[in-house]
Structure 1
Amino acid sequence: MASIKHTKNELKTQREALRRFQRYLPTLQLKKQQLQLEVRQLEVTLEAERNAEAQDRAELAKWVRLFAEPVDWDHWLTVSDIRLEQGNIAGVAIPVLAGVDFSRQMPDLFSTPAWLDDGVEMLQRRIRRRLELQVLGEQLRRLADELRTTNQRVNLFEKVKIPEARENIRVIRIFLGDQMTAGVARSKMAKAKALEQETAT
């Protein structure tokens, strides 16, 4: 604990600091709760997307032998644009996948394998889901970082700053009370001496 002055001005400063900490703490606690809720919801969404990706992979396993045939996938499907926007959750800027644009060539049914159209569709779904997973993962990382920082601030206020300010106020009040008592005692002693001198003359 830092050394403090035992003055009325310091007492006033400590009281103001305590009021300030007590005023900001509920806001921080509310932000912490909101972030915890968002992180939990995001974890559930991320898990659902991972399960959907696993289902896609299982479905894709049926196509693996067909994909072994030489196919120039870049010719049939390319990502032309990935649109990201900025979202905001509890003051945290997060990326949001607004959309994915694909350039897709329609296969010639007579010169390409019969499965190519379904294969391109599956590949498009996989690319979109993979991008969604990456964006959700980044959202979760940013929110978890902010939650950790907010939690540290809440703990700092609850466990350090508020108790420290209360203790400082208590110590200063005791010191000032002792000073006042000592002052009254000195005053009485001076008065008694003055009376004694008066009666002696």
Structure 2
Amino acid sequence: MAKLKLTKNEQKTQKDALKMYQRYLPTLTLKKQQLQSEIRAIDEKAKSVRAEKKALEEDFEKWISVFGEKDAFKPDMVTVKNIKKGWGNIAGVKIPVYEGADFGRGDYNLYSTPLWIDMAADRMEKALELDLEAEVLD
């Protein structure tokens, strides 16, 4: 620790610094508390998104074998067109906020494709959306 000079000028400098710290310290601790509570809330939200994604994957496992049908579900059936991200402000710190995504559906013949394609495409969109939200939360 640096040794302080024992002069009147140094005493005044130290008193001014103490006044400044006493004035701004409550504000800084409040910002710190806000950021910590926001981090905890984001962690909880990320855990819930991952749990929802896991439940969706378990539901997929029940009927995943139908994806193996020849020419039924193509990789370009569901595509991400646009990811909507915004910015939030927590205690003066900019954080990214997930606002949604736009998905595109591939063209397919309603008469020649199986009936489960629409439900599978909806679930694939939901899985992709959960992945994108978890990515933004991380």
Greater strand fraction, Structure 1 or Structure 2: 2
Instruction: Provide the residue aligned with 1:63 in structure 2.
Output: 63
Give the TM-score normalised by the residue count of structure 2. 0.90
Runs of 4+ in 1 over 4 A off after TM superposition: none
Q: Deviations over 1:71-103 (max 9, x none)?
A: 3220x2211111211111111111112221111
Q: Deviations over 1:123-171 (max 9, x none)?
A: 000001100011111xxxxxxxxxxxxxxxxxxxxxxxxxxxxxxxxxx
In 1, distance between residues paired with 2:44 and 2:123?
A: 24
Instruction: Provide the residue aligned with 2:7 in structure 1.
Output: 7
In 2, distance between residues paired with 1:23 and 1:44?
A: 34
Higher-Rg structure is 1
Task: State the SS of the aligned residue for 2:3.
Answer: coil
The 3 A distance-change label for structure 1 pair 62 and 106 is: farther
Instruction: Provide the residue aligned with 2:135 in structure 1.
Output: 134
Does the 8 Å CA contact 1:107/1:117 hold for their aligned counterparts? no
Matched-pair identity in %: 44
**Per chain length, whose mean CA-contact separation is higher, i.e. which structure has more relative contact order (CA < 8 Å, sep 6+)?**
1
Give the TM-score normalised by the residue count of structure 1. 0.63
In 2, distance between residues paired with 1:100 and 1:60?
A: 21
Structure 2 residue runs of 5 or longer lacking an equivalent are none
| Number of aligned positions between the proteins | 136
More displaced, 116-125 or 102-111? 102-111
Does residue 30 of structure 1 match 2:30?
A: yes
Q: How do 1:58-97 residues align onto structure 2 when only pairs under 5 Å count?
A: 58-70=58-70, 71-74=73-76, 76-97=77-98
Instruction: Provide the residue aligned with 1:186 in structure 2.
Output: none
Q: RMSD in angstroms over aligned alpha carbons? A: 1.5
Greater helix fraction, Structure 1 or Structure 2: 1
Task: State the SS of the aligned residue for 2:80.
Answer: strand
Q: How do 1:30-49 residues align onto structure 2 when only pairs under 5 Å count?
A: 30-49=30-49
Q: Deviations over 1:49-89 (max 9, x none)?
A: 11111110111112211112243220x22111112111111
Task: State the SS of the aligned residue for 2:11.
Answer: helix
